[in-house]
Chains A and B, each alone.
Chain A
Amino acid sequence: MGDVGLEVTERAPTLSGTDDTADHQLVVRSVSHTFPDGTAVLRDVSLTVDRGEFVALIGPSGCGKSTLLKIAAGLEKQTSGEVICHRDNIGFVFQDATLLPFRTVQGNVELFAELHKVPKAKRKEMARAALEMVGLQRFEDKYPKALSGGMKMRASLARSLVLHPHLFLFDEPFASVDEITRARLNDEVIKLFTSEQFAAVFVTHSISEACFLSSRVVVMSQRPARILADIEIPFPYPRHQDLHYETAFVDKARQVAQLLGEA
């Protein structure tokens, strides 16, 4: 592991995360990946994400963003290169809510604590706290089928939050919800990020979502994906929806769009 410090330091995490002693939560070093059928998806990708950093991954569809995320989480094994992160507690938010239909909201949110053998009373309390954070405290006894798409997504966020992971990976989580719900869920993510200050990697197709959520936008190329650009988005957190209409924001979005156009 060398000089990569993975211990959680006592130092207050910085939201900019640019100094040298920053708290690395994810280090991806020269990772390349080829599917079993011979398709090259990633070529020499390097990326470091610190605690308090929110990185949006954006690129042409099918370029391998999700594959990079899965490799980071250890769900897939890269062909070459190195990934360093704490694998025992990663928050991973899937494209679909993937709630277990046979468990109540409460039961779903408790799942990870249960898998980590947290005692029943304690995990109940943890789940309740997580549900409160996403505003679902009155829906704990409902089964997923009774929830709207947006509420399912919130329950899914609460589930990932329950163990307070230091690294959060989002795999295009809000792609299938309507625009209004999506804006609300983005606010939710900003709030959670501001209070928990995890390190986040958020895969998205939306330029405005990428710029709104992240402190860095990483633009990837066509398959096999390389990193084309790493753009800092310097607006302070917590952010509000009004940010979308500010000139500085529009300029950043245009810059990302142009890079994507060249991808």
Chain B
Amino acid sequence: MALATWHSSDPLQESGDLQEEALAQPAPPRRARSAHRFAKATLGPLAILAVIVGIWELVSYVVLDPQRRFLLPPLQTIFHQAFFIHSNLSVLLSALGVTTEVAMAGLGLSIIIGMLIAIAMSEFKSMERGLYPYLVVLQTIPILALVPLVGFWLGFGFTARIVVCVLISLFPIIASTLFGLQSATRAYHELFDLHHASRFTKLVKLKLPMALPSTFNGFRISAGLSVIGEIVGGYFFQQGKPDIGVLLDQFTAQLNGTMLFGAIFIASLLGVAVFWTFGGISSLVVGNWKE
């Protein structure tokens, strides 16, 4: 057929229309404006931080008498003791390493198991019907109550810690992936049906890519939960290489407020880092197409 012969009757007008449509996209913000927006976005949080630090120092120096100052040590003491004395810092860092390693191993396992379960549930209605009530149960029962049982069955080592991480981080991955896999509307499925695509083709070329934004959201939530699970596991099990959980328990027992806060800060940093990392990976993978 006359493929190449067709052209707009008025090519100039046509390209003009397209340009107009292209111009309708928002223009990239200018540097000055983005700097202004950045200042606006950071000013509020910085002000709140200043208030918190102020109250902290006030309580530490004025409200508490020196004998009880270990309950809330001054910030500079915490930073000096925990992060600038080499032996202390290395204790914290090695615990951080253990926690990161176990939490990420647990998360990895959660991602594999969770995505497989979600795919099975989306492909087979019977799977969804059968598994759904148990997922609700998994989400509803206080998982921390299962921690002793995990130790009781699996011992108090590495494996048990990983299992706790998986238990606590599994649900968001299943739920978000399943939601994502089911997000392709009927018309999208029909698009593939028209060309007799197999279920596998549909899974790979339609459902999984459609699920990515939601799945990555799940990863981000689960990553944070996995860190929590690791710390709780370590705190409870008290065996194997010391992680942040073990340190929290030790420093509390020693009434070592400065190091306790040091460990809390480093655990918080890990949580934030993990959240940001997965947010970053997500915007790298789906950022340029996500609506």
- Residue of A whose beta carbon sits closest to that of B195: A115
Decide: A101 near B291, CB < 8 A? Known: A94-B190, A195-B6: yes
Query: How near does chain A come to B15, taking the closest CB pair, in angstroms?
Result: 8
The 3 closest A-B pairs by CB, nearest first: A115-B195, A195-B6, A143-B289
List of B residues within 8 angstroms of A116 by Cβ = 195
A133 near B: Cβ within 8 Å? yes
Judge if A184 is at the interface, Cβ distance under 8 Å. Answer: yes
Q: Residue on A with the closest CB to B192?
A: A115
Any B CB within 8 A of the CB of A84: no
Bound-state Cα–Cα, A117 to B209, Å: 20
Residues of B within 8 A of A (CB): 1-6, 8, 14-15, 17-18, 21-22, 24-25, 185, 187-188, 190-197, 201, 205-206, 209-210, 212, 286, 288-291
Contact A75 B194 (CB under 8 A): yes
Query: Interface digits, A140-163 against B, CB 8 Å rule (1 contact, 0 not)?
Result: 000111111011000000000000
A98 touches B197 (CB 8 A): no
Interface pair B191/A88, CB less than 8 Å apart: no
Return A184 CB to nearest CB of chain B, in Å.
7
Residues of A within 8 A of B205 (CB): 111, 114
Cβ contact of A196, chosen from B1, B25, B201, cutoff 8 A: B1
Whether A115 pairs with B21 at a CB distance below 8 angstroms is no
Residues of A within 8 A of B5 (CB): 195
- Beta-carbon contact of B291 and A75 below 8 Å: no
**Would A151 and B194 be within 8 Å (CB), given that A102-B209, A102-B289 are in contact?**
no
Q: In the assembly, what is the distance between CA of A243 and CA of B193, in Å?
A: 38
B21-A150 in contact (CB<8A): yes
Q: Determine the chain B residues whose CB is within 8 A of the CB of A111 once the complex forms.
A: 191, 205
Are B1 and A112 closer than 8 Å at their CB atoms? no
B187 contacts A102, C-beta separation under 8 Å: no
Chain B residue at smallest Cβ distance from A161: B3
A57 is an interface residue with CB less than 8 A from chain B:
no
For chain A residues 92-123, which have a beta carbon within 8 Å of chain B?
92, 94-96, 98, 100-103, 111-112, 114-116
| Total A-B contacts with CB atoms under 8 angstroms apart | 84
Most B Cβ at <10 Å: residue of A101, A129, A150, A194: A101
Q: Is the CB of A145 within 8 A of B291?
A: yes
**Cross-chain pairs A/B with CB under 8 angstroms, 5 sampled:** A95-B187, A133-B3, A135-B15, A143-B289, A145-B289
Could you tell me if B14 and A135 are in contact, using CB atoms closer than 8 angstroms? yes
Chain A residues lying within 8 Å of B4, measured Cβ to Cβ, are 129, 132
Chain B residues within 8 Å of A191, by CB: 6, 8
Measured CB to CB, the nearest residue on chain B to A240 is B9
Q: Which residues of B contact A151 (CB under 8 A)?
A: 18, 21
Given the contacts A145-B291, A150-B21, A133 and B6 also touching, CB distance less than 8 Å = yes
Contact in complex: B25, A146 (CB < 8 Å): yes
Assembly CA distance A93 to B216 (angstroms): 31
Q: Let me know if B8 and A135 touch, CB within 8 A.
A: yes
Contact of B3 with A129 in the complex, beta carbons under 8 Å: yes
Contact A115 B209 (CB under 8 A): no
A101 to B1 CA separation, bound complex (whole angstroms): 30
Nearest-CB distance from B262 to chain A (Å)? 44
Taking the closest CB of chain B, its distance from the CB of A82, in whole angstroms, is 20
Interface size class of A (residues with CB under 8 A): 35 or more
Complex: A88 Cα to B8 Cα, angstroms: 30
Query: B25 CB to closest chain A CB, in angstroms?
Result: 6
Q: Does A138 lie at the interface of the complex (its beta carbon under 8 Å from any beta carbon of B)? A: yes
Across the interface, which residues of A come within 8 angstroms of B196, CB to CB? 88, 115
| Known A100-B209, A102-B286; contact A94-B17, beta-carbon cutoff 8 A | no
Docked CA distance A103–B286 (Å): 11
How far, in whole Å, are A74 and B201 apart by their CA atoms in the complex? Answer: 19
Contacts of B291 on A, CB cut-off 8 Å? 101, 145
Distance A236 CA – B85 CA, assembled complex (angstroms): 89
With both chains docked as a complex, state the minimum distance between the C-beta of B18 and any C-beta of chain A, in angstroms: 7
Say which residue of A102, A112, A148, A192 sits within 8 Å of B21 (CB atoms). A148
Contact A115/B201 with A75-B194, A135-B8, A145-B291 known, Cβ cut-off 8 Å: yes
Task: Check if A148 sits within 8 Å of B193, measured CB to CB.
Answer: no
Q: Mark A66-101, 1 if CB is under 8 A from B, else 0.
A: 000010011100000000000010101011101011
Structural contact, A73 and B194, CB atoms closer than 8 A: yes
Which residues of A, 182-231, contact B by the 8 Å Cβ criterion? 184, 191-192, 194-197
Check if B3 sits within 8 Å of A197, measured CB to CB: no
Taking a contact as CB atoms under 8 Å apart, the answer to whether A75 and B193 are in contact is yes
Contacting pair B209 A195 (CB below 8 A): no
**Chain B hits for A114, CB < 8 A:** 205
Q: Nearest A residue to B17 by beta-carbon distance?
A: A184
* A148, B286: Cα distance in complex, Å: 20
Taking a contact as CB atoms closer than 8 A, the residue among B1, B18, B286, B288 that contacts A138 in the complex is B18
Q: Are B1 and A197 in contact (CB under 8 A)?
A: yes
Bound together, the chains give a CA A77 to CA B44 distance in angstroms of: 61
Residue of B3, B191, B209 near A94 (CB, 8 A) is: B191
Q: Which of A90, A92, A116, A139 has the most CB of B within 10 A?
A: A92
Contact A98 B192 (CB under 8 A): no
Q: How many angstroms from the CA of A135 to the CA of B21 in the assembled complex?
A: 13
Residue numbers in A under 8 Å from B3 (CB-CB): 129, 133, 195
